[in-house]
Amino acid sequence: MEKLKKVGLMILSCVLCSIAVNWVALPNGFPVTGIAGISMVLENWTGINYAIIYYGITLLILAATFFVLGIAEVRSILFLSVLYPAVLWILNHMTISVVLEERLIAVALFGVLYGGGAGIVLRIGYSYGGMDTLSKILKKLFFKSGEIRYIMLGADSCIMFFMLTVFSLDKLAYAFVGQLITVNVMNYIIFNGPSLYDVQIIGEETSEIRRFMIEILHKSMTSHEVVGAYTDKTRIQMDCVCTSVEYVKLKEFIFEQKIECFIKVTPLISVFGANKDFRRLKDEIL
């Protein structure tokens, strides 16, 4: 049942993003940034439908992901890498247009639809295999010490300059505004929910995680030894309370550093303590 729910959410996400591009952005005369933006430029150069070009670029990214990042990363993007371009192509051939008199309202509608669709899949741990995956590949190959968000920002900027070869500056400005709205809506979908999480991490080598939490995120942790009942081996267990943003950063760090560990994450209703993220018991009405 849980797998069917995830598949349903991914299909819904693909439909929302495809509607945003095909039925809102294009009919109202502004392009889309990212991989779709590259595809739209190449469509103007070649005459090939942008959705087909998008499919080709996505498959190239999928192949590069396998060789550079490994099979584990491929699993998180494989389904959507195949499904989304197909849905994008199908909806592109439907003669439905949502044309609004005010283009800024159309841009806002695009941002809500696309950001909502993208946020759904990111919240359940999957990805379209677009700019985020491309940025991970660039980091692995060329910018090993760079942060993903800055690499993605640089890549997006290069794509927008590339799009100037076909689209006017004012159309690109609308695309940029749409991207800003998309990111904000996407972040709301991802982080709207429990604000605090209890994170338990068990592993043999946890010193790098401890350093990241204390020195980078400035979070305190509790550390103690535990014994596995099945292996009878001693491991280190670390417990901490994170905000949703901190948890995402921690998860990305563990993935990027390829640290083998067991992680259990539990949403919390409330936490009391002296930390700025916690509530004060004396302030509560009991």
Confidence class for position 237, pLDDT limits 50, 70, 90 = confident
Contact (Cβ atoms closer than 8 angstroms) between residue 241 and residue 277:
yes
Give me the phi and psi of 207, to 5 degrees please: -65, -40
- 202-227 pLDDT tens trace: 887 788 888 888 888 887 788 888 88
Residues with Cβ within 8 Å of 140's Cβ and at least 6 positions away in sequence, in order, are 68, 69
CB atoms within 10 A of CB 166: 16
Helix axes 103-123, 169-191, angle to 10 degrees: 40
Show me where the domains of the chain are located. Answer: 1-191, 196-268
The three-point CA angle 94-97-101 to 5° equals: 175
Q: Which of 15-29, 155-169, 191-205 has the lowest mean pLDDT?
A: 191-205
β-partners of residue 227 are: 234
Secondary structure element (H or E) that encloses residue 139, with its range: helix 131-141
Instruction: Report which residue type is found at 100.
Output: L
Contact (Cβ atoms closer than 8 angstroms) between residue 196 and residue 277:
yes
CATH class of 196-268: alpha beta
Contact (Cβ atoms closer than 8 angstroms) between residue 31 and residue 40:
yes
Q: Which two tokens stand for residue 29?
A: 């005369």
Q: Of 19-23, 98-102, 185-189, which one has max mean pLDDT?
A: 19-23
* pTM confidence score: 0.70
Q: Is 275 helix (H, G, I), strand (E, B) or coil?
A: coil
